[in-house]
Amino acid sequence: MLGRRRVDDINTNLGAPVIIGGTGGSGTRIFAQTCISAGYFMGTNHNGALDALDFVDFNDRWGNAYLKRDETPLSNRNQRRMTHDFERRMRRHLVGIEPTQTRWGWKNPRSMLVLPFLAQQFSQMRFIHVVRDGRDMAYSGNQRQLRLHGIQVYVDQMQGLTESEQSIVSWCRTNLDVAAFGQDHLASRYLRVRFEDICDRPADTIGTILEFIEAPGADPSDLVGQVKRPDSIGRWQGHPDDEVRHLHELGREALEAFGYLNPT
């Protein structure tokens, strides 16, 4: 375990957090808005997408080292530094929470990169894993996560690939790892939601999220009206067939696992 104590022990008045993550550009804002509407404190320092900005530097500093921990283990000193750094940023995130408020969390897409670490800090945390079609993500203008982490961590797999091909390789590897950890270690405290499903069936999908965060009585009607299906869904279909076939080859395992391709 990283650190000698869990963040659970810092403030016993708080319940376990709900944390939302996914590949950058996956459409995670509505998920944070759902939590806020259900009475969750999701921080006050965020951008227009409701990303919790207090964790940005933490992800910048520790994301790659943590992702490469099997190859290059973190020293005991760095494990302690990582935990201390996280505690400091979490305290900053909680500035402004009402003393009587116990339900809280945050949304930062890159939180999924350090999910096992977060699960060590919060023994009863819940995680919402937002997935969007990796083919659309491959052609997205938002490749920040790929540039900051994917090409730095998955070096061998990236050789000789175009950016869109690198993007789907990173999307595949990262999301499969998160899904496996969530299913194996968080179990009922892990929820995976496809962005396309909240666009196509907003009432049902938001209802599922509200049940997961233990707010089934919340009224989803206002949230449903905020859901807009973007024109970028299915943008991969506007690209040459040979490019798309190669994306299918590179990302098939995850595309099939998440229901974007029928199993071969």
| All domains of the chain in start order, with CATH | 7-257 (3.40.50.300)
Measured from the Cβ of residue 202, the count of other Cβ atoms closer than 10 Å reads 19
Handedness of CA 57, 153, 140, 208 (dihedral sign): negative
Q: Within 13 Å, how many C-alpha atoms sit on residue 189's CB side?
A: 17
- Asked if 99 and 41 count as a contact pair (C-beta separation under 8 A), the reply is no
Q: Which pLDDT score is estimated for 1?
A: 38
- Asked if 115 and 68 count as a contact pair (C-beta separation under 8 A), the reply is no
The CA-CA-CA angle for residues 183, 59, 165, to 5°, reads 70
Q: Which pLDDT score is estimated for 8?
A: 52
Mean pLDDT, the chain cut into blocks of 10 residues (264 residues total): 46 86 94 96 96 97 96 97 97 93 96 98 97 98 94 92 97 98 99 98 97 91 92 98 98 98 87
d(CA 247, CA 237) in angstroms, rounded, equals 12
Q: Mean pLDDT, the chain, as a whole number?
A: 94
Per DSSP, what are the bridge partners of residue 46? 52
Handedness of CA 216, 217, 221, 222 (dihedral sign): negative
Q: Which pLDDT score is estimated for 197?
A: 98
Task: Classify residue 130 as left (phi > 0), alpha (psi -120 to 50) or beta.
Answer: beta
List the one residue out of 199, 258, 192 whose CA is nearest residue 232. 199
Q: Which pLDDT score is estimated for 220?
A: 87
Q: Which residue has the tokens 């206002």?
A: 222
d(CA 214, CA 208) in angstroms, rounded, equals 10
Q: What is the pTM of this model?
A: 0.94
- Asked if 35 and 213 count as a contact pair (C-beta separation under 8 A), the reply is yes
Q: Which pLDDT score is estimated for 3?
A: 38
Q: Which pLDDT score is estimated for 263?
A: 86
Handedness of CA 78, 81, 87, 93 (dihedral sign): negative
Element spanning 190, H or E: strand 190-194
| pLDDT single digits (tens) 221-254 | 889 999 999 999 999 999 999 999 999 999 999 9
